[in-house]
Amino acid sequence: MVSDPPRGQRGSSGNGAGKSSGGSSADGTSERAGLPEERKPQSDEAHSAFTPPLGVPLPPLPEEEHPTSEFALPDGLRPETPAEHEGSAFAPPGSTTGQTPLPGTVAGGLAFTPPHGIPVLSLTKEAPWQDRMRTMLRMPIHERPVPERVERAEDETGGPAVPRVLDLTLRIGEILLAGGEGAEDVEAAMFGVAHAYGLERVEPTVTFTLLSISYQPSLVDDPVTASRTVRRRGVDYNRLSAVFRLVDDITSEGITLEEAYRGLAEIRRNRHPYPSWALTLASGLLSGAASMLVGGGALVFAAAAVGSMLGDRLAWLASGRGLPEFYQFVCAAMPPAAIGLAFGLAHSNVQASAVITGGLFALIPGRALVAGVQDGLTGYYITAAARLLEVGYLIVGIVVGVLSVLYIGLQIDPGLKRLNPEQALQLYNAPLVQTGASMLLALAFCVLLQQERHTVAFATLNGGVAWVVYGALNVTAGFNAVPSTAIAAGLVGLFGQLLSRYRYASALPYVTAAIGPLLPGSATYFGLLNFAQGNLLEGISSLIRAASLALAIAVGVNLGSEVARLFLRAPGITEAGAGRRAAKRTRGF
């Protein structure tokens, strides 16, 4: 009895076992593989039972096979527009990056002041850029409004690249810091340049030798930070003024990044306005004029000028040999002291102390002192401490140079009467001569600072006014020297700030040279002479008086500048309380 074949064999014998593509072979390959033959497609043209013919759309999936999420939008609601695509931090910034415009804004900036008090700011040329940037500099980053920016051709292509903007910002800050500008003004310039090119979430930081800036595209992006170190500092107010004009063009005129780089390269290539021989001659004129302020005559003027020029050449020689600045000041202080000592040893009628005092006027670092005190008063304590420490080192260098010469002279002749502090300098009251000498001193100081020629006349006149005010208060009215010096320096700071606001420039060219006649050269010399003679208490008292006068100059200059900013409100700031905020460091006022 023959049994029925298996089910798989019956299917294969009736369905074309000779086809090789989809069926089984004659030797039963499908059976050995363990796969039922009817589960395989019969040919390449075979289709799934669930595939509709061509041209017929796919039917919707059953609801149970496509469950909806509880976070899905209900039917009839459109999804929200996706947020801005998260890009790289090095992508070019747009016209307004980092902050979302508030409701009620218009193209180009905010249309109203937000209720929490953020002021409406304008970056057009309605006010000095220093005032505009100081207003925003001390605001927390979350309170800063989106400023109006001048549209550039770069904005059509996405704006400049972020690393190039940061590099330009740091290079500009480096020149300003190396030229002696205060830390707050350097940060304001860096802040203005970065904002002008669309970087809104920026935080510049300035210390004595290091500048850094951090940019965060948005709250969810990683910040980009760049830094630059100031290796060399030099006095060139001509270059400083040119950088201020460049920053004003960037923030107000809307120049492109390439034009800004080109302007910065031209500033670096420019030569100093005065040659080295003019600087040496100006150093001599400064010392000669300072000796006339304390009663010196024509011979004293010439002796002080010669001593200062010799000291200047020795300092240049030490600088060329790579010696630190401390030893340069030691070398510069020795020739004036040696010439004054020679007059004293010769027992001539020349006031030797006036010669030495005039030489000290050219060496006292008044510029660094004013910048250091200003940084401290505005809340930059690290930079202020570093600047004041630098001033201390330079003054110690002057002390070493003068004391070494005076000590030798006192060893030769212990009874030098012409160097006696009680008899050397009497009260000298010649208003016309002293006023002319003060203006000549300020003029020579302008040359030493490499100022632009159109600023020299204003600084010279400012120095003459400062001395007249000091003489009227100290000599005529009988006021103490410290408050008299502070008031005169305050007027210098006030006039310098007014001139800088009028010209959209730095205030240093109008201030630094003008405080030259007020520098405490006589008190410094008397302190050193008392130390050389062994009178420690008198020497300490004289040096304390010199330090008090120096601080009075620095505080007066800063106070005059703040008074100018306090009463002269910038027209681009509309709110009553939108001025520069005070530094909150300790008690939180």
User: What is the secondary structure of 9-75 as a DSSP string?
Assistant: HHHHHTS-TT-SSSS--TT-HHHHHT--GGGS-SSTT---TTPPPTTPPPPPPPGGGSPPPTTSPPT
More confident residue, 223 or 29: 223
pLDDT category, 60, cuts 50, 70, 90?
low
Q: In what helix (H) or strand (E) does residue 204 lie, and over which residues does it extend?
A: strand 202-206
Residue in the structure block whose two tokens are 């009028």: 502
Q: Which residues pair with 229 in a beta bridge?
A: 210
What's the maximum distance between 2 C-alpha atoms anywhere in the chain?
Answer: 158
For 182-196, the pLDDT digits (tens) are 888 898 899 889 888
CB of 183 within 8 A of CB of 380?
yes
Nearest to 329 by CA among 319, 317, 315, 339: 315
Residue 478 has pLDDT above 90, yes or no: no
Q: What pLDDT does residue 361 have?
A: 83
E-assigned strand segments in 388-440: none
Residue 64, CB half-sphere, CA atoms under 13 Å: how many? 0
Residue 364 has pLDDT above 90, yes or no: no
Residue 360 has pLDDT above 70, yes or no: yes
Residue 546 has pLDDT above 90, yes or no: no
Question: Would you say the pTM of this structure is higher than 0.85?
Answer: no
More confident residue, 555 or 18: 555
User: What length is written for the chain?
Assistant: 589
Nearest to 501 by CA among 255, 237, 248: 248
- Taking residues 544-573, what's their average pLDDT? 78
- CB neighbourhood size of 27 (10 A): 7
pLDDT category, 483, cuts 50, 70, 90?
very high
Q: What pLDDT does residue 285 have?
A: 93
Window from 166-170, 474-478, 488-492 with minimum mean pLDDT: 474-478
Contacts 24+ apart (CB under 8 A), 276-279: 276/316, 278/447, 279/312, 279/447, 279/448
Q: What pLDDT does residue 17 have?
A: 41
For 383-427, the pLDDT digits (tens) are 899 998 988 898 889 989 988 888 888 788 776 655 655 444 456
Q: What does the mean pLDDT of the chain come to? A: 75
Nearest to 213 by CA among 170, 159, 175, 251: 170
Pinpoint the alpha helices (H) of 228-294: 237-248, 257-269, 276-293
- Cα separation of 462 and 496, whole Å? 8
- Cα separation of 500 and 560, whole Å? 13
DSSP code, position 418:
G
Residue in the structure block whose two tokens are 């002696």: 180
For 230-259, the pLDDT digits (tens) are 888 878 888 888 998 899 888 887 788 899
Window from 6-10, 166-170, 299-303, 398-402 with minimum mean pLDDT: 6-10
- Taking residues 458-466, what's their average pLDDT? 93
As a whole-number percent, the residues of the chain with pLDDT over 90 amount to 21
CB of 159 within 8 A of CB of 92?
yes
Range 467-496 burial, b when 16+ CB lie within 10 A, else e? bbbbbebbbeeeeebbebbbbbbbbbbbbb
Q: 82: left (phi > 0), else alpha (psi -120 to 50), else beta?
A: beta
- Cα separation of 396 and 403, whole Å? 10
Window from 150-164, 178-192, 322-336, 388-402 with minimum mean pLDDT: 150-164
- Distance from CA of residue 215 to its chain's centroid? 16
More confident residue, 367 or 149: 367
As a whole-number percent, the residues of the chain with pLDDT over 70 amount to 66
Range 431-459 burial, b when 16+ CB lie within 10 A, else e? eeebbebbbbbbbbbbbbbbbbeebbebb
Q: What pLDDT does residue 16 have?
A: 42
Q: What pLDDT does residue 236 have?
A: 85
> What values do phi and psi take at 458, rounded to 5?
-65, -45
For 85-126, the pLDDT digits (tens) are 444 555 555 444 444 343 344 444 444 444 444 444 444 445
Describe the strand order of the beta sheet including 210-215 as a list of residue ranges: 202-206, 210-215, 224-229
Q: What pLDDT does residue 152 have?
A: 52
Q: Which residues pair with 165 in a beta bridge?
A: none
